[in-house]
């Protein structure tokens, strides 16, 4: 325990982190955090570092905010809020994660990740890193844009046509062995809202094939969100006005996961 504390202290000094920073991930020496610290409204993320060229998270730290500050004082900042869930019958604890971004004088919800486990920092860190590095993203007249790589080629498509493409993309992934062949899914364009919503549902049995053995609902949600994000574009000054929102629900056996948001970092899905 003493060695762990010393390792964390050394890293905080080396990285120039504030003295009250909460080390959520620090070279695998910090136990997982499954609740916002007592007397804190949220965690202002001050570091999200990866091993160069990989998705391996080496440092993820936040500074406790005792109260909800006015967003204008933290323009461009990212806050994580953790709501613990009671442990299930298997004794495994879970947490609901909410990600907020301060833009234009408001705290805007970028995404919510219900019922995540101890790996929640690895799940949200790529999105956090994207937001923290937004200054390097594409700049357009309407603001700072986070743009999917297929957005331009699909610019002339309706959201309904994008839903059709996603449907075909998922089917292709099944043929490639990345999703179970007998999984059932649907992609529906909901245009009843000011910002259209792509609603994706996906259901499969656990251990349905050697290729997908042990597939988790959370992994499937991540893949589907990445796939849809390739067609999206988000103005980071007004994240609530993306081209479309995503609502993804995945059930793998007794496990269920949901993603609600606009975009995630592009990784596994080509």
Q: What percentage of the chain's residues is helix, strand, coil (to nearest 5)?
A: 25, 35, 40
Instruction: Give the pLDDT confidence score for residue 28 in this predicted structure.
Output: 57
Structure tokens at 80: 């994580």
Of the listed ranges 3-17, 104-118, 150-164, the least confidently predicted one is 3-17
pLDDT on residue 42: 92
CB neighbourhood size of 96 (10 A): 15
Interacting residues of 225 by C-beta distance below 8 A, sequence separation 6+: 246, 248, 259, 261, 263, 264
Q: Are strands 245-252 and 197-204 parallel, antiparallel or unpaired?
A: parallel
- Expressed in angstroms, the distance from the first to the final Cα of the chain is 42
Q: Tell me the range of 15-29, 141-155, 227-241, 245-259 where mean pLDDT is highest.
A: 245-259
The per-residue pLDDT for 51 is 76
Read off the pLDDT of each residue in 207-224 and give the average, rounded to a whole number.
60
- Name the nearest CA neighbour of 208 among 249, 167, 177, 187: 177
Is pLDDT at 120 greater than 80 in this prediction? yes
Q: Is the pLDDT of residue 236 over 90?
A: no
| Angle in degrees, 0-180, between the axes of helices 217-229 and 159-175, rounded to the nearest 10 | 130
Coil, helix or strand at residue 80: strand
Q: In this predicted structure, what is the pLDDT of residue 238?
A: 65
Q: Nearest-CA neighbor of 62 among 104, 14, 107, 26?
A: 26
Give the position of tokens 């995945």: 250
Cα 176–Cα 203–Cα 94 angle in degrees, nearest 5: 110
pLDDT tens by residue, 34-82? 888 888 999 988 888 887 777 778 888 888 898 898 877 777 788 999 9
Pair 29, 4: CB distance under 8 Å = yes
**Residue ranges in the chain assigned as alpha helix (H):** 2-15, 120-132, 159-175, 217-229
Backbone angles phi, psi at 210, to 5 degrees: -60, -35
55: nearest Cα among 138, 128, 140, 151: 128
Specify the pLDDT at position 7.
64
Tell me the per-residue pLDDT of 98-117, one tens digit each, with 9 for 90 and over: 988 887 678 888 888 888 88
- Which of the residue ranges 33-37, 129-133, 185-189, 225-229 has the most confident prediction, judged by mean pLDDT? 185-189
| Stronger pLDDT, 135 or 184, i.e. the higher one | 184
- Enclosing H/E stretch for 131: helix 120-132
**pLDDT tens digits, one per residue of 184-194:** 999 999 988 87
The continuous run of DSSP H or E covering 218 comes out as: helix 217-229
Please give the Cα distance from 36 to 95 (Å, whole number).
Answer: 10
Contact by Cβ (8 Å): 224, 195: no
What is the mean pLDDT of the segment spanning 156-182?
A: 87
- State percent of the chain over pLDDT 70: 73
pLDDT digits (tens, 9 = 90+) for 84-100: 877 665 555 788 889 88
CA gap 268, 123 in Å, rounded: 13
Question: What was the pLDDT predicted at 91?
Answer: 57
Q: Quickly state the pLDDT bin for 147 (edges 50, 70, 90).
A: confident
Predicted TM-score (pTM) above 0.75: no
Read off the pLDDT band of 218 (50, 70, 90). Answer: confident
Q: How many CB atoms lie within 10 A of CB 129?
A: 19
Nearest Cα neighbor of 222 from 131, 126, 94 is 126
146 near 236, Cβ under 8 Å? yes
Comparing 132-141, 200-209, 223-232, 256-265, which segment has the lowest mean pLDDT? 132-141
Q: Which of 90-94, 167-171, 254-258 has the lowest mean pLDDT?
A: 90-94
Q: Is the pLDDT of residue 126 over 70?
A: yes
């Amino acid at each position: 325990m003493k060695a762990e504390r010393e390792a964390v202290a050394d890293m905080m000094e080396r990285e120039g982190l504030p003295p009250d920073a909460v080390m959520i991930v620090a070279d695998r020496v910090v136990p997982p955090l499954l609740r916002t610290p007592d007397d804190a409204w949220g965690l202002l993320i001050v570091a999200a570092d990866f091993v160069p060229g990989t998705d391996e998270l080496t440092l993820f730290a936040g500074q406790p905010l005792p109260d909800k500050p006015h967003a204008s004082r933290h323009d461009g900042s990212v806050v994580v809020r953790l709501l613990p869930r009671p442990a299930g019958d298997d004794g495994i604890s879970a947490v609901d994660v909410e990600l907020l971004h301060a833009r234009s004088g408001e705290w805007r919800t970028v995404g919510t990740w219900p019922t995540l486990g101890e790996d929640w920092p690895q799940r949200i860190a790529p999105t956090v890193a994207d937001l923290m590095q937004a200054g390097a993203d594409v700049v357009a007249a309407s603001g700072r844009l986070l743009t999917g790589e297929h957005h331009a080629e699909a610019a002339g498509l309706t959201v309904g046509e994008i839903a059709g493409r996603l449907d075909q993309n998922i089917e292709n992934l099944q043929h490639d062995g990345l999703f179970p062949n007998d999984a059932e899914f649907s992609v529906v364009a909901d245009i009843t809202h000011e910002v259209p919503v792509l609603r994706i549902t996906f259901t499969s049995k656990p251990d349905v094939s050697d290729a997908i053995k042990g597939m988790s609902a959370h992994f499937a949600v991540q893949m589907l969100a990445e796939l849809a994000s390739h067609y999206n574009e988000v103005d980071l000054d007004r994240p609530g006005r993306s081209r479309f929102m995503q609502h993804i629900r995945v059930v793998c056996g007794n496990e269920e996961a949901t993603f609600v948001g606009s975009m995630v970092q592009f990784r596994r899905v080509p």
